[in-house]
Amino acid sequence: MAFLQSQPPREPFLHAPGSVLGLIAGLIAIHLVVTFLPVPDSVLVTYVFIPARYVDGAAPLDLIVPLFSHQLLHGSYFHLTVNCVWLLAFGPVVARRLGGLTFFVFFFLCGAAGALTELAFTWGSVAQMIGASGAISGLMGAAFRLMRWPDVPSGVRLVPILSRPLVMTSLTWLILNAIVGIAGFGLGANAGDVQIAWQAHMGGYLFGLLTVGLFDRLRRMTA
């Protein structure tokens, strides 16, 4: 029981940093705008991530913007709600360590890394990908390195990537994602005709896991 007693008490969700709550509010607002305002599909499609664009040779801006803009769009209220709950679970620990501005940069880069992983797995696909899941998976990977684990010294600023609990947790998460994706079931398999890719979860997670130390050092250097 000593390990359990050493953990800090769970804080109410309204005590989450403003950057996390603001990001959640932004995702909700964008979904409401897309849902209730007559946004033409021809406009909306420019902001989703489509691997085929990178084969067809679109303009540079049309290739860069979707890497980030697709993270702000969601296929349904259920998809949005689950992502917001995930964000509320893993975002605060990362936001408190990195600070507001660095947190936002880290979030969107995790999502972009997830999109590029999807691109590598589905080169030339015309499937449309949306959602913040890749970015939030990156926050999960980062949070796991910032959390306290059993058998890891309490004075360690970042949990070593090759520590046993982190390796086992990461393998479990990645394997479950692969199983869900290959089997074709689970949240985000499809949202209408828009595909939510499990590969993006894996890419975002690995990016967050591997680079949070760099962003942590950057934050301390600029503080």
End-to-end CA distance of the chain: 37
The fraction of the chain above a pLDDT of 90, given in percent, is 54
The amino acid at residue 184 is G
Joined together, the tokens standing for residue 168 give 């086992």
Q: Which of 56, 66, 29, 65 is nearest to 194 (CA)?
A: 66
Q: Using CA atoms, how far apart are residues 101 and 94, in angstroms rounded to an integer? A: 12
Backbone φ and ψ for 173, nearest 5 degrees, come out as -65, -45
pLDDT at 38: 81
* pLDDT tens, residue by residue, 13-35: 557 899 999 999 999 999 999 99
pLDDT at 155: 66
CA dihedral 71, 73, 76, 82 (to 10 degrees): 30
pLDDT at 219: 84
* pLDDT tens, residue by residue, 209-218: 999 999 998 8
Q: How do strand 194-195 and strand 190-191 relate by DSSP bridges?
A: antiparallel
Sheet with 194-195: strands ordered across: 128-129, 194-195, 190-191
Residue position matching structure tokens 């982190």: 166
The amino acid at residue 19 is S
pLDDT band for 220, please (50, 70, 90 cuts): confident
* pLDDT tens, residue by residue, 71-106: 999 988 988 999 999 999 999 999 999 988 999 999
**Taking a C-beta distance cutoff of 8 angstroms, is the pair 168, 115 a contact?**
no
pLDDT band for 188, please (50, 70, 90 cuts): very low
The fraction of the chain above a pLDDT of 70, given in percent, is 84
pLDDT at 194: 42
pLDDT at 2: 37
Domain 16-222 has CATH 1.20.1540.10: yes
pLDDT at 179: 81
* Domain layout of the chain by residue ranges: 16-222
* pLDDT greater at residue 194 or residue 171: 171
Joined together, the tokens standing for residue 157 give 């600023």
**Taking a C-beta distance cutoff of 8 angstroms, is the pair 150, 175 a contact?**
no
Strand partners, 190: 195
Looking at every residue in the chain, the average pLDDT score rounds to: 85
* pLDDT greater at residue 101 or residue 40: 101
* pLDDT tens, residue by residue, 120-163: 998 988 888 999 999 999 999 999 999 877 766 666 688 888 88
* pLDDT tens, residue by residue, 106-118: 999 999 999 999 9
